[in-house]
Amino acid sequence: MRRRFVPALAAAAALAGVLAGTSPAAAVPADKPQVLGNWTRTSAASYQAWAAARQNRDDWAAYAFDWSTDYCTSSPDNPFGFPFRNACARHDFGYRNYRRADAYQAHKPRLDEAFHADLRRVCARYAGAKKVSCEGTAWTYYQAVRGLGISSDGQTPHS
């Protein structure tokens, strides 16, 4: 219930800021870093909160989050039938929004860990050889973002 109140309050504050003549950046809610942090943790609850917000993006418009995604970039979104697409979307969300906040380097390790946790939760649905295959694929995706998530020029090829 609180989640629905916060965006409405934030939207009202943003409108008040615009009417008062302040810049749009000043109208962004002060708790944006906290909300971003809550949506990019390794827990299942963090993933679920992000997924619910993603379904109701208009409720969070005042926060000016970047929801864009290319999913798993040039890797398959559903390798061997394992549905990794949403984990990739949340990973993009973290990378893109922390980059906009000039806080990417400080948060990258956690974002990559959260990505791996999301992939492992996908794999937990399976058993036997299929689970082992999924976990191996998840590990490969995780290692790829850890190693390729930042290039020498400071840009992320992944997002």
Catalytic residues: 91
Continuous H helices in the chain: 2-19, 32-38, 44-55, 85-100, 104-123, 128-148
Continuous H helices in 20-84: 32-38, 44-55
| Amino acid residing at 154 | G
> Residue length, the chain?
159
